[in-house]
Amino acid sequence: MLAGGHRKIAGVIFLLLVVLSLGGAALAAPPQELFQEGVKAYRAGEYAQASRAFQASAQLQPASGTLQNLGNAQWQLGQAGRAILAWEQALWLDPFNHPARNNLRFARKTVQVEAPELAWYEVISTWLPMNLWPWITGASLWFAVGMGLLPGIFRLRKAAWHQALAALGLMIFLLSLPAHLGVLSRTRLGFVVQRDALLRLTPTRQGQVITRLGAGDPARWERAQGGFVLIRTGRSLGWIESSQFGLPSPR
């Protein structure tokens, strides 16, 4: 009887867990539904609600279009720094998102902040989506190796076009390596999201203020400590509260 009672209790607990999990799944709105909710709220002029919906959708399923719309809503709310960050995140996922790029140009001109200065290898990394570079590197390397080895494996006479294609694959492989370095370097490039953010000498709220940063100012992430991050701007190095600084790329 005791063993049977344990089995019944275990069965009841299992059923409760199933019901709770199904209920949680039903309550969790899918990303597309949240996106449509954001679009509807934006068209109605309810920008705060639209921002929350787009933010929730992007957290569940990051997408360039969702982040672009998130930036639009935040711009309407007067949150220029967060809008610039959202549009930068949109371009991180899709560098061909021209509306997001145009919005960035307009926003930076309006609030009078400079675009980040990129090294040449970082510029190359912006030509294609970041997830595409590993595929290009791997495919070009194996293509070059294949063009060099397959004719011998299949006992074919190596023709000039085999060598030309192998050289082309090797060239693409070598050109993709700086792009990988650029992607890695750009993961440390972020933006100030709050107006008049204080850059301090030490990672405390009592630390000496070095300067004030504008919303949308670019900076390089160095390291984090407590609730602060050490960033390097074009003019200085100092600590800023973590909530006042954002990175477009996942870390």
Quick one: 93 and 51 in the same domain?
A: yes
Same domain, 198 and 166: no
CATH number, position 100: 1.25.40.10
List beta partners, residue 228: 225, 241
Which residue among 68, 87, 111 closes a domain?
A: 111
How many independent structural domains does the chain possess?
3
Q: Are residues 151 and 180 in the same domain?
A: yes
Q: Is the pLDDT of residue 189 over 60?
A: yes
Tokens of 166: 């192998």
pLDDT one-digit tens code per residue, 121-151: 999 999 998 889 989 999 999 999 988 887 7
Across 61-80, average pLDDT: 96
Specify whether 193 is located in the same domain as 176. Answer: no
Q: What length does the chain have? A: 251
164 part of a folded domain:
yes
Q: Which of 111, 142, 174 is the last residue of a domain?
A: 111
pLDDT band at 251 (very low <50, low <70, confident <90, very high): low
In a domain, 49, yes or no: yes
Question: What is the model's pTM?
Answer: 0.82
- Domain end, chosen from 158, 185, 212, is at 185
For residue 11, tell me if it sits in a domain.
Answer: no
127 and 107 in a single domain? The answer is no
Question: 2 lies in a domain?
Answer: no
On whether both 146 and 176 belong to a single domain, the answer is: yes
User: Which positions ≥6 away from 186 have C-beta within 8 Å?
Assistant: 92, 118, 122, 125, 126, 249
Q: What per-residue confidence (pLDDT) applies to 14?
A: 42
Q: Indicate if 35 and 99 belong to the same structural domain.
A: yes
Name which of 49, 66, 65, 48 is nearest 57 in CA terms.
66
Q: How many CB atoms lie within 10 A of CB 212?
A: 12
What CATH number is associated with residue 229?
2.30.30.40
Domain range for residue 163? 123-185
**Other beta carbons less than 10 A from residue 164's beta carbon:** 11
Helical segments of 28-119, H only = 31-43, 47-60, 64-76, 80-93, 98-111
Determine the residue type at 34: L
| Residue 6 scores a pLDDT above 80 | no
Within a domain: residue 24?
no
User: Quick check: 240 and 196 in contact, CB under 8 A?
Assistant: no
Q: SS3 for 153-209, per residue?
A: HCCCCCCHHHHHHHHHHHHHHHHHHHHHHHHHHHCCEEEECCCCEEEECCCCCCCCE
The band of 250, judged by pLDDT with boundaries at 50, 70 and 90, is low
> Do the domain assignments include residue 75?
yes
